[in-house]
Structure 1
Amino acid sequence: MCIFKTVDEQIMILKQRGLTIHNEERARRYLLTSNYYAIINGYSKFFQDRDNHFMSGASFDEIRELYWFDKEIKQILLDGILNAEHHLKFIAAYRFAEISQNEKYGYLNIGNYDHEKLNYDWKLISKLSQILSSNCKYNNNTIYHNIHTHNDVPIWVLVDFFDFGTLRAFIRDLPHSVQNKIAVDCIGFIQDNVPGFDSAFPVEIMNSFIKNIHEARNICAHNKHLLKFECRSDVTYLQQFHSLNNITNENGTRKSVYSTFISLQCFLSKTEYRILSNTIRKRMRNLNYKVKSININTILDALGFPDNWQECPALVQTF
């Protein structure tokens, strides 16, 4: 049974376990207005030994800094993922429009999808119908405008209403030839971000990247712990791409936040990716300045980043 503890009792327990609290009033106020379980249980493990006792020098302020670091990194990564989502939406919409020219509501025609994925296709079409029906009643959106003005909602309008899960399903269910065009369109991003890349970008690999980016996106958007998060499966190995980023073909090496971060090079412009990379690096350096009782590489390892990654030179940003 879970037993309620007052804030004063929580502070006493933390002190008994060896945690330094420099300002008890500030800690008391913080615990009162925040979630003890999410913050202390979620982040104090990095500062404890095997007996759940805090390491020498570990402080409440350091746990709070790690909590804010995780929160900031989620927001930074989510911003990058939203940029990638934007590019994928309109690449996919363009390539779909090519095969359904002048066909009203062509995305509701099962004949425009991969015939080997009929079960998935019907679920997708049902989802797209729901998007139309839930937005056609209100005159404050482009779906309403297009239905009442043109008796059609083109894919480049509808796609703006996709969440990432719908976008992922839409790309996955397209005919292989259309998916391949989307993958080829993304090679320009890869070549901009990974100098010397001259490999193909197979559809299966693209979809595995999108799948793991989608999982990471949900962690960030729903404010779950990013530290120690791993996707359910490795992305498919792309030798030239992964080796240039020091990621191996060993099982378990391509589930991490770092692997997802690297995958975003396939869907972001050079400027977008460099801003993302430099901002994460800056936050890691800032955390290293504020947290002294543990090695920063402990935190980098929890995200899958290489040791001392934050000390790499910043990437030159061009606009």
Structure 2
Amino acid sequence: MKRYFKTVDQQIDILKSRGLIIKDENLAKEILLHYNYYKVINGTIMFFNRKDDPYKYLDNTTFEEIEATHVFDKEIKKIFLNSILDIERHLRSIVAYTFMEHHPEANSYLNPDNFNNDKSLIDANIYSMSKTIDNFEEEVNYNKSIKYYYKKYNHVPLWFLINFISFGKLVNFYETMKDNEAYEVANDFTKFLTDNIPEAKGYYLTQRQFESVIKNIKEIRNVCAHDNLILSYKCEDDIVDIAPIHDKYGIEKNDDKKDLFNVYIVMQILLTKDQFRDLSNLIRAQIEELRKLINKKAFDKVMESIGFMDIF
């Protein structure tokens, strides 16, 4: 019978047998115990392995390099998640405002006639909204707030409720908005785009472009929030070409637009100039730190895996 469990001592022996240099075994054991062998080792080996034997490390590869790459993955996820929370705040506010401007009546978000023709998604959204109200009525921390809005308005306004649905449900809500309303939401973010890229002045986003942007941001958010590996991650679909952004970075219309870099550059649509600058500076600092800690060949592979080659 095979034994799938390995003690940290056995894990160390396996790594040494694969050619990994471990200078401080006690520290390596502590890291493997606290952060999981799969995430630390399996999540980074592709940047340090040999072509002729993918389970063997290149000569002179150290555990410190493996750990530095693992830390880079962890810190980049924190940075992106923090910026995506800013994006969520902007998007929640504008979606709620636009929808209520067109549908000011009570409980308008529960009326399927106020959405497009995607019945299955509309039904799912309406169910989600109703379920959110029911769930938060039972929560001690929000009980008074929910009751307050029921008492004052005899319903829960969307501008309040929208703060309690998940980002995924928010994206779904946008997908079901009527075309003219979804278009208004997309173009309310034009100011952010032109502030970040002045050459985009006069450019208007389509609903399809904006939808592709927020869906890929949602994917990256989920990767970060669930602490999955961000290195080498590719979104399910390409972001639809947005000329002012992709032209600036030399990305052709038919190029792949699924990696982390492509999500990073379109975040200019949903972040203020200061917020995007802060995001860029934090990413740059992590890249420079990694550059100092691992060999150039591995560093280039890591950068290629997220699309950040020759950017900073």
TM-score bracket, shorter-length normalisation? over 0.9
Q: Percent identity?
A: 34
Partner of 2:249: 245
Whether 2:88 is the aligned partner of 1:85: answer yes
Give the 4+ runs in structure 1 shifted more than 6 A: none
CA distance in 2, matches of 1:67, 1:250: 32
CA distance in 2, matches of 1:91, 1:227: 32
**Do 2:245 and 2:265's aligned partners in 1 also have CA atoms closer than 8 Å?**
no
Query: Cα gap change, 1:207/1:2 in structure 2, threshold over 3 Å: closer, same or farther?
Result: farther
| Structure 1 residue 244, shift from structure 2 partner | 1.2
Partner of 2:174: 171
2:229 pairs, out of 225, 232, 247, with 225
| Structure 1 residue 147, shift from structure 2 partner | 1.4
CA distance in 2, matches of 1:202, 1:56: 51
| Structure 1 residue 45, shift from structure 2 partner | 2.2
CA distance in 2, matches of 1:6, 1:139: 43
Partner of 1:313: none
**Do 2:48 and 2:298's aligned partners in 1 also have CA atoms closer than 8 Å?**
no
CA distance in 2, matches of 1:87, 1:40: 37
CA distance in 1, matches of 2:271, 2:127: 30
The alignment partner of 2:287 has SS state of: helix
CA distance in 1, matches of 2:112, 2:128: 13
CA distance in 2, matches of 1:31, 1:139: 39
**Do 2:237 and 2:258's aligned partners in 1 also have CA atoms closer than 8 Å?**
yes
Count, aligned residues: 306
Whether 2:58 is the aligned partner of 1:69: answer no
1:256 pairs, out of 259, 265, 279, with 259
| Structure 1 residue 292, shift from structure 2 partner | 2.5
The alignment partner of 1:136 has SS state of: helix
1:309 pairs, out of 300, 308, 311, with 311
**Do 1:56 and 1:293's aligned partners in 2 also have CA atoms closer than 8 Å?**
no
The alignment partner of 2:4 has SS state of: coil
| Structure 1 residue 111, shift from structure 2 partner | 1.5
Partner of 1:44: 45
Give per-residue Cα distances to partners, 1:162-187, cap 9 Å, x unaligned: 21111101111111110111111011
Aligned residue type for 1:99: H
Partner of 1:281: 284
Partner of 1:203: 207
CA distance in 2, matches of 1:13, 1:188: 54
Aligned residue type for 1:165: G
The alignment partner of 1:236 has SS state of: coil
| Structure 1 residue 139, shift from structure 2 partner | 5.3
Range with bigger deviation, 70-79 or 288-297: 288-297
Range with bigger deviation, 11-20 or 260-269: 11-20
| Aligned residue runs from structure 1 range 145-184, under 5 A | 145-184=148-187
Partner of 2:219: 215
Q: CA RMSD in A?
A: 1.5
Partner of 2:238: 234
CA distance in 2, matches of 1:92, 1:30: 43
State the TM-score, normalizing by the size of structure 1.
Answer: 0.92
The alignment partner of 2:292 has SS state of: helix
Partner of 1:107: 109
Aligned residue type for 1:109: N
Partner of 1:118: 119
Whether 2:220 is the aligned partner of 1:188: answer no
The alignment partner of 1:49 has SS state of: coil
| Structure 1 residue 33, shift from structure 2 partner | 2.9
Structure 1 runs not aligned, ≥5 long: 311-319
Give per-residue Cα distances to partners, 1:202-235, cap 9 Å, x unaligned: 1110001111111111001000000000001101
Aligned residue type for 1:284: I
Structure 2 runs not aligned, ≥5 long: none
**Do 1:143 and 1:157's aligned partners in 2 also have CA atoms closer than 8 Å?**
no
| Structure 1 residue 4, shift from structure 2 partner | 2.7
Range with bigger deviation, 278-287 or 145-154: 145-154
The alignment partner of 1:232 has SS state of: coil
